[in-house]
Amino acid sequence: MEPVTDMVFIIIALMVIALASVLSWQFGHLVKRFGIVDRPDGDRKAQSAPVARLGGVAIFFVILVFLLLEWLIFTLIPKSDEPEEIAYWFYTSRPYQAVLGMSLFAFLIGLWDDIGNAPTKLKLALLAITAIAAAYFGLHPDALNSPLGNITAPAALIIGSALWLLVFTNAANFMDGSNGLSIGSMAIMLGGLAISTSAINQTMLHLGWFALLGAIAGFLIHNLRGTLYAGDAGALGLGALFASLGLASGLEVWTVATLALPFLIDVLMTLIWRAKHKRSWLEPHRDHAYQRLIDSGWSHIEVAVLYWGLSASCAVAAIITAKAGGEAPFVIFWTLTLAGIVMWSLNRREYRGQ
């Protein structure tokens, strides 16, 4: 790109972020009037009063508007083999269609739960079926690379991808219990994913990314003040979107997983701890590290900033490994994983009485 073209792109990107933010913020005011609220239960839902819970609808409405607009623009551009036109391919490819399908179904399952309180086991089963279908219809990597050997068997890749989709989608929902934490962290993860993907030239940094980040920013204006929650629709939908885009990005699996580490470590270590103490995974609880911090006196914004910092650190590491290639993604992922496990264990030990 010429410098002038770069400047024009930056200006358009900033305009898209600003417009998407305003639309999401305003639509957030609208969904507050729907009367669908999250009521305190004295346990996991520790807020002092009912809070509107359809913020995810506001986010996805804005994303849909911009995706439709960008899709229309790219359909009017003749397809070519130039690298700059990879975004056109992205919008017409089978993996992209699987990304849309996985994200949409996760959003609708979450919306059902927000409005009608879906049975937990049925919701989990439907998410599992959706994840398996998305992986089967093309949402999986060509290989899982490591210094110990590469896995290329299609069945193993499909099963592994379905498990990844299911785990991270639910992890995003599990972490959505503190104002700004889950959705704000996912904005950083998505930003890191976009930059990492551009670093390996798999796709251009097209405007859909900026609309997505703008929509999240508009929602966070409400969420950080505790007046609007993303709900299951927002958490599951965005979780599925990140997990799906990670598989479709062309990045090493380890690079994508590095971006997700702040969620994966807290959720998986908590599930292991609950299994060890014979506690059900499906029952509401306050055993996550972020919940223990809040119970010990940390404010929501302090906990959110901590996880934003962890997410940003992992994003920087992921971007570096994406550029480095080779064994770097594998080594950095496991190094950060071990560090994260130590941090989680120290937190568990410090607040074990709570």
Number of domains comprising the chain:
1
351 in a domain, yes or no?
no
CA–CA separation, 344 and 269 (whole Å): 8
216 neighbors 226 (Cβ within 8 angstroms): no
Nearest to 168 by CA among 248, 98, 265: 265
The 3-state DSSP class for residue 177 equals coil
313 in a domain, yes or no?
no
Q: What angle do CA 302, 307, 310 make, to 5 degrees?
A: 130
192 in a domain, yes or no?
yes
User: Mind spelling out the 3-state secondary structure of 96-114?
Assistant: HHHHHHHHHHHHHHHHHHH
pLDDT at 90: 52
Residue 10 lies in domain? 3-251
Residue-wise DSSP of 265-281: HHHHHHHHHHHHTT--S
29 in a domain, yes or no?
yes
How deeply is 68 buried, as exposed, middle or buried, from its count of CB atoms within 10 A (0-12, 13-18, 19+)?
exposed
347 in a domain, yes or no?
no
Nearest to 60 by CA among 114, 23, 92, 12: 23
162 in a domain, yes or no?
yes
307 in a domain, yes or no?
no
At residue 151, what are phi and psi to the nearest 5 degrees?
-100, 120
272 in a domain, yes or no?
no
Each residue's pLDDT expressed in tens, for the chain with a length of 354 residues: 444 466 777 788 889 899 999 999 999 999 999 888 887 666 666 666 789 999 999 999 998 888 777 777 666 655 544 444 444 445 556 677 888 899 999 999 999 999 988 898 999 999 999 999 999 988 888 888 777 778 888 899 999 999 999 999 999 999 998 999 999 999 999 999 999 988 776 555 667 788 999 999 999 999 999 999 999 999 999 999 999 999 988 889 999 999 999 999 999 999 999 999 888 887 878 889 999 999 888 999 999 999 999 999 999 999 999 999 888 999 999 999 999 999 999 988 876 654
pLDDT at 118: 86
